[in-house]
Amino acid sequence: MGQVKYINPVAERLTGWQAAEAKGRPLAEIFPIVDQSTRQPVTNPVDLILQEKSLSELVKDVLLIARDGTEYAIEDSAAPIKNGQGKIIGAVIVFRNVTQSRQIAQKLSWQATHDPLTGLYNRRKFEEKVSAVIKDSQNNKSRHALCYLDLDRFKIVNDTCGHAAGDELLQQVTQLLKKRIRASDVFARLGGDEFGLLLHQCPIEIAPKIADQLRQLIQDFRFTWEDKVFRIGVSIGVVALESTTDNLVDLLSTADAACYAAKEKGRNCVYVYHQQDTVVSQQRGERQWIEKLNRALEENRFCLYAQKIISLEENCDRHHYEILLRLIDESGKLIAPGVFLPAAERYDLMPAIDRWVVTTFLAGYEVYCRSRKEQKLEPPTNLYTINLSGASINNQEFGTFLQEQFERYAIPPETICFEITETVAISNLDNAITLIKQLRELGCSIALDDFGSGMSSFAYLKNLPVDYLKIDGSFIKNIVKDSVDYATVECFNHISQIMNIQTIAEFVEDNAILQSLQQIGVNYAQGYGIERPQPLIFG
C-alpha cells in the first residue's frame, strides 16, 4: 500500500516523473507536498484515506515539489478504491495546478493590506493588527506601545525636487527604520509621510528610548537627489497600549495628537502622552476639526461676512470692505474663524477654504454687478478685500485658479483686493511676489496685513509691490496713551506715503483712536469702533 501504480500524462508533466519510472515507487517520492507558508511536509492524502476510510480533501495552500525542484500550487482530493466486499484496495488522487490563480489571489490580498510604494502594511492592515493587540491587552493585561511618526521637512524635498524624489526618500527612510525594528513589531505607512509603529510587548517606560533611537537615526540620515543633499527629521508621538485602552479610534487619535505635540515642541523630537495631558487634549480637539471642516465644505456650511473700512480723507465716498469667514455648525450655531482656522491651517485645509471663499464671493458679486447693469446704474466702486493664506500662496496652482475665476465671473477686477499677512509674505517671499504680480496683471490690488509684526518690515516692503498697508493692531489700540506706539504708526505711515502705498489702521475701537489716526494722516481705518462684521450684502 502507498506505492504508485499509474499516473496520467498531466501528472507526468507536473511531477516530472514518467509513468514507467513512477510505477512501484512510494507516493511520497513521486508526490512530495509541503505547506506553502511553513515549508513543512503535509500529510499524504492516501494516508488520510487509510486512517479515515473516506473521501479526503487536501488542506489549502499546498505546494507540489516537482522532480526538478519546480513548485506548483495545487488543489486535490483523494478517494478510496474498494473491492466487491468493501475492502480498500487502493486510492485515487486527483489534483490540479492552481499556481496562476493563487498568485493572483495572493497579489490582490497583498495589495489590499500593503502600501505599494514602501511595501509596509497600509493603514487598514495596521488598524486590524492594533485592534487585535488591544483585545489581547484587555484579556491578558499585556503591555505594548504605539508610536505615530511624521517626517519633518519632507515637503521641502517634494516641492524642491518633485514627487519622484519624495517617493525615493520614503523608500529609503522605510529601509533605514526597518533595520532597527523587531520582526515582532508592526510597522506601517499610514499615508503621506506618516508612519505607525506598534512596539509589541514593550512597556511605556522603554518605548521612548526606542522612539528616540529611531529619531536619531533619521536625524543622522542624509538624502541625496541629483546635486542636492537634504537633512530631514521626524516627530514621534508615543502612547501606551495597556489593559485600560478602550478602543482603536481613541488610541490612534491620541497617538496622532501626541505626534503633533512633538511638532509643536520644535519638531524632530519625541512626545510621550500621559493621562490628564492638556497639550494632547488640545491637539485632539484640533484634529476633530478636520472632519468637521471637510463636511462643512461638502455641505456648503460656511458663510461670508464683511467689515467696513472707512476713508479718513475728506470728500472720499468710496468704502472698502474686508470679506470675513464664518462657519455654521450642525446645530446652526455661528462659529468665529479664530476657533477653526488654526486647525485648518495646521492640517492643510486652507487652500480648499480659500477657494470656497473666492468662488462664493465672486459668484455673488457677479449677480450684483449684473443687477446694477440691468437697472442702468453705474458699475460698483466699493473695494472688497479677500484674505489669502500662506498655504494658498505656496500652492503653485492657486494663481492659475484665480485667473480662471476672473475669466469665469464678469466682475470689475479693480474692485477686488487680495490681502496677505506680512509674516506669510516674508516667509514665502518668492512665491508671494510671483502671486502678487499675477494678481496685479489681472487688475486687482494687494494689501499687506499685520504690518510691523516682523522684525525687518521695511526691508521687505521695498520688494513687495503692494497698494495698501494694514498697520498691525497691536500698535493701534494703545496709540492714544503710548507715545512710542504713536511715533511707530507715524513712522509707518510716513514711509508708506513716500512709497505711494496707502495705509489702513486696524483695531480702531473708539473716536480717540480715530482722531489720532487722522492727525497722523493714515488713509483708512477699520475696527469695532467703526463697524462690527456683518453678513455680506452687496450694495
Are 286 and 342 within 8 A, CB to CB? yes
For the entire predicted model, the pTM comes to: 0.57
Distance (Å, whole) CA 5 – CA 14: 17
Confidence of residue 344 (pLDDT cuts 50, 70, 90): confident
Residue range 219-229: average pLDDT? Answer: 90
Mean pLDDT of the chain: 87
pLDDT band at 403 (very low <50, low <70, confident <90, very high): very high
Above 50 in pLDDT, residue 455?
Answer: no
Contact 193, 159 (CB under 8 A): no
Out of 275-289, 412-426, 428-442, which region has the weakest mean confidence (pLDDT)?
275-289
The percentage of the chain sitting over the pLDDT mark of 90, rounded to a whole number, equals 47
Where is pLDDT greater, at 37 or 23?
23
Architecture per CATH, domain 290-535, reads as: Alpha-Beta Barrel (3.20)
Which pLDDT tens digit goes with each residue over 471-485?
Answer: 988 889 999 999 999
> What pLDDT does 454 receive?
53
C-alpha 120/C-alpha 377 separation (Å) is 65
Over 60: is that where the pLDDT of 230 sits?
yes
Q: Radius of gyration over alpha carbons of the chain, in Å?
A: 35
Alpha carbon of residue 416 to chain centroid: 32
Q: Reduce the DSSP state of residue 497 to 3 states and report it.
A: helix
What is the pLDDT, as a whole number, of residue 428?
75
pLDDT of residue 39: 83
| Residue 58 banded pLDDT, cuts 50, 70, 90 | low
Q: How many CB atoms lie within 10 A of CB 221?
A: 17
pLDDT band at 55 (very low <50, low <70, confident <90, very high): low
Quick check: 521 and 289 in contact, CB under 8 A? no
| pLDDT at residue 456 is higher than 60 | no
Domain covering 116-275: architecture: 2-Layer Sandwich (3.30)
End-to-end CA distance of the chain: 101
Letter for the amino acid at 30?
Answer: I
User: Which region among 117-131, 276-290, 411-425 has the lowest average model confidence (pLDDT)?
Assistant: 276-290
Residue 457: which pLDDT band, with cuts at 50, 70 and 90? low
% of the chain residues with pLDDT over 70:
94
pLDDT digits (tens, 9 = 90+) for 101-148: 777 777 777 778 899 999 999 999 999 999 999 999 999 999 999 999
Contact between 73 and 98 (Cβ < 8 Å): yes
For the cut 80, the answer to whether the pLDDT of residue 54 exceeds it is no
Cα 154–chain centre separation = 12
Output the CA angle 226-150-142, nearest 5 degrees. 135
* Section 382-389 average pLDDT: 95
SS3 369: helix
- What sections of 205-349 are H helices per DSSP? 207-220, 248-264, 278-299, 337-346
For 9-105, give the CATH class: alpha beta
List, for residues 144-195, the tens digit of each pLDDT value.
999 999 998 888 888 778 889 999 999 999 999 999 999 999 999 998 899 9
**Domain segments of the chain as ranges:** 9-105, 116-275, 290-535
* 498 has a pLDDT exceeding 60: yes
Q: CA-CA distance, 435 to 430, in Å (whole number)? A: 9
Candidates 453, 445, 456; CA nearest to 500 is 445
Residue 53 has pLDDT above 60, yes or no: no
DSSP 41: B
pLDDT at position 316 over 90: no
Residue 27 DSSP SS3: helix
The predicted pLDDT at position 50 comes to 67
